[in-house]
């Protein structure tokens, strides 16, 4: 049996009332009481506290059901802010967001790392993250709750629960306790998570559809997948869930960074697009001061070149196959393509969708396959920090 004291019970009730108000555009005390099963007196007292804290506002009267007209309650998305930081190989994107993920401040800082396995300087990465977080703190709008947390999205294998980084392949970093290094620098709680988890959180947050299931395919130098299942990020036992980038889609296929052969990410990533160009004897453009190689390919395609179309088609077909495998396993509401490859969405979406619909079974064929939000990973990192700091159940329920 569960045994919790009165103040813990109040925290738990407060979290469920706050979550309910956040998830509904407008609501009433009666509706909250009916939905949560709490007495009207308890709801009134909790709403009072939440109004004092700036989370809830009264906004006029609703329609009466015979008795007095109910006072309408509205959630204040600007009651608190959080910082989200997305660490990629070449840059850090930092945002300050409100509770709904609207950006109040954004900055992109270039880092001087080149892709590949060359060792990068971990101390300078930490210093850059600190510097970015500190300047973000200076740009937080005035809010009743101020800033409540910092979220950091990392490209690789991380344990959200412990804050430990197992491996970031693109940065050649392993066994890194970056969470503790950062936490020592800030009075605010710091959270770290995998970038695909952050991406899926941002998509979920923007859709205002509690309990929905969204799959976020983060295709860049590698392929990671974020799983939002019934309104919860599914991270697995050690935080390693979603590594669909390493499902085998071709026996004896291209060798992967993980040591296996034929992994999905060897066929659906930025590197694989370059390999297709080589295989098809298409000249690979040089990077320019403004554009990386991938950006140059996309840029020329936008200008009307169809030189790269055959390579885009190969990439799109493999993306369609991999995504159909994931959809057939999980039957989500929606699938989102994010990451650097999504910049080429216009040139791959038709062929990717055709293959996807061919390989998906039954109703999975109808699952929408859409492009991710710009800056989604940074927004999601801020969102996860916000969610943990304000909305997570304050008590881990066990028997």
Binding region for Zn ion (CB under 5 A): 246, 256, 258, 260, 263
Smallest distance, Zn ion to C-beta of residue 261, A: 8
Q: Which CB atom, from 147 or from 263, has the smaller least distance to Zn ion?
A: 263
d(CA 305, CA 282): 12
Contact indicator for 378, 187 with CB cutoff of 8 Å? no
Smallest distance, Zn ion to C-beta of residue 156, A: 13
| Burial zone of 75 (CB within 10 Å; 0-12 exposed, 13-18 middle, 19+ buried) | buried
Q: Which CB atom, from 123 or from 251, has the smaller least distance to Zn ion?
A: 251
The overall longest dimension of the chain from CA atoms, in Å, is 77
Q: Per residue in 185-215, is it b (16+ CB within 10 Å) or e — as a string?
A: ebebebbbbbbbbbbbbbbbbbeeeeebbbb
Q: Which CB atom, from 18 or from 256, has the smaller least distance to Zn ion?
A: 256
CA dihedral 262, 265, 270, 274 (to 10 degrees): 0
Smallest distance, Zn ion to C-beta of residue 50, A: 47
Smallest distance, Zn ion to C-beta of residue 329, A: 18
d(CA 107, CA 129): 12
User: Beta-carbon neighbour count of residue 271 at 10 Å?
Assistant: 18
Alpha-carbon separation of residue 63 from 44, 66, 195, 218 (angstroms): 19, 9, 44, 45
Q: Which CB atom, from 222 or from 376, has the smaller least distance to Zn ion?
A: 222
What DSSP letter does each residue of 344-394 carry, written as one string?
A: GHHHHHHHHHHHHHHHS-GGGGGS-EEEPPTTHHHHHHHHHHHIIIIIS-S
Q: Which CB atom, from 241 or from 256, has the smaller least distance to Zn ion?
A: 256
Q: Which CB atom, from 266 or from 364, has the smaller least distance to Zn ion?
A: 266
**Segment (H or E) for 330:** helix 309-330
Smallest distance, Zn ion to C-beta of residue 272, A: 12
Q: Which CB atom, from 30 or from 254, has the smaller least distance to Zn ion?
A: 254
Q: Which CB atom, from 29 or from 167, has the smaller least distance to Zn ion?
A: 167
Smallest distance, Zn ion to C-beta of residue 268, A: 12
Smallest distance, Zn ion to C-beta of residue 224, A: 11
Tokens 């028997």 appear where? Answer: 399
Contact indicator for 228, 200 with CB cutoff of 8 Å? yes
Smallest distance, Zn ion to C-beta of residue 262, A: 8
């Amino acid at each position: 049996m569960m045994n919790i004291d009165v103040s813990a019970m109040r925290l738990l009730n407060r979290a469920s009332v706050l979550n309910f108000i956040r998830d509904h555009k407008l609501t009433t005390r009666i509706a909250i009481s009916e939905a949560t099963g709490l007495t009207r007196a308890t709801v009134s007292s909790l709403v009072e506290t939440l109004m004092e804290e700036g989370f809830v506002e009264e906004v006029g009267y609703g329609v009466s059901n015979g008795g007095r007209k109910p006072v309408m309650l509205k959630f204040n998305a600007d009651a608190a802010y959080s910082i989200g930081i997305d660490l990629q190989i070449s840059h850090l994107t930092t945002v300050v967001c409100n509770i709904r993920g609207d950006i109040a401040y954004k900055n992109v800082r270039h880092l001087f790392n080149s892709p590949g396995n060359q060792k990068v300087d971990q101390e300078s990465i930490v210093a850059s993250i600190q510097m970015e977080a500190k300047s973000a703190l200076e740009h937080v709008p005035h809010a009743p709750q101020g800033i409540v947390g910092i979220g950091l999205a990392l490209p690789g294998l991380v344990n959200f629960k412990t804050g430990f980084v197992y491996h970031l392949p693109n940065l050649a970093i392993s066994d890194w306790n970056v969470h503790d290094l950062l936490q020592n620098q800030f009075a605010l709680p710091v959270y770290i998570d995998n970038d695909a988890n952050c991406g899926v959180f941002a998509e979920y947050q923007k859709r205002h559809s509690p309990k929905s299931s969204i799959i976020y395919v983060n295709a860049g130098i590698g392929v990671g997948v974020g799983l939002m299942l019934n309104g919860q990020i599914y991270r697995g036992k050690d935080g390693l869930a979603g590594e669909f980038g390493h499902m085998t889609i071709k026996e004896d296929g291209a060798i992967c960074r993980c040591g296996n052969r034929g992994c999905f990410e060897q066929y659906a990533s930025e590197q694989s697009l370059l390999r297709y160009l080589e295989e098809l004897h298409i000249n690979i453009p040089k990077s320019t001061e403004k554009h990386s190689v991938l950006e140059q390919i996309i840029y020329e395609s936008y200008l009307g070149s169809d030189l790269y179309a055959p390579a885009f088609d190969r990439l799109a077909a493999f993306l369609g196959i991999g995504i159909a495998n994931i959809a057939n396993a999980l039957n989500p509401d929606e699938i989102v393509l994010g990451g650097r490859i999504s910049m080429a969405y216009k040139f791959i979406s038709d062929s990717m969708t055709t293959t996807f619909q061919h390989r998906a079974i039954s109703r999975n064929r109808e699952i929408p396959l859409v492009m991710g939000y710009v800056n989604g990973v940074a927004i999601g990192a801020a969102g996860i920090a916000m969610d943990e700091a304000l909305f997570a159940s304050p008590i881990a329920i066990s028997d």
